[in-house]
Amino acid sequence: MPFQMIRNDITKVRADIIVNTANPKPVIGSGTDSAIYAVAGEGDLLAERQKIGDIDPGRAAGTPAFGLSAKYIIHTVGPAWTAIMGSRIYSVTAMQFAFAGSRTTSGEHCISIDCHRCLRIP
C-alpha cells in the first residue's frame, strides 16, 4: 500500500497512525489537540499522555488512539518559536535535533508501516 496524505477531519480518519502537534506538557491544548482528545476520550488519552510526561521539542511519543478510528497517535512537539540572530535561524536547530533523534531513539513499540522501515515509538 502506498503512503497517503489525506486532507480531512483528523478525528474521523481511518488510519493506523495519526500525528498530533502536541503541547510539550501533558495537558489538553487547543484547536486540533483539543478535538483529538474530545473524540479519543479525554480521560483515557490524558492519563496515557501523563504517563509519558513532558516531550521535548523535536521529539515524539506514541499512545493508543482510544475512541478514534486510528489505532495510534504520535504526539510530536515542534519548535514554538523562531529566533534570528545574524544569519542563524534557531528553529532549524530543533528540527535537526528531531532528525538525529529519530535515527537513535529506541522504543518499546514498533509499528510496521508496510515498508522495510519501522517507526519506533518511545
35 CB-contact burial (10 Å; exposed 0-12 / middle 13-18 / buried 19+): middle
Gap between the Cα atoms of 91 and 97, Å rounded: 10
Q: Is 9 a catalytic residue?
A: no
Q: Catalytic pick from 9, 16, 33, 56? A: 33
Phi, psi for residue 71 in degrees, rounded to 5: -90, -35
C-alpha cell at 37: 482528545
* Nearest partner of 30 among 18, 21, 43, judged by Cα: 21
User: Which residues are catalytic, by number?
Assistant: 33
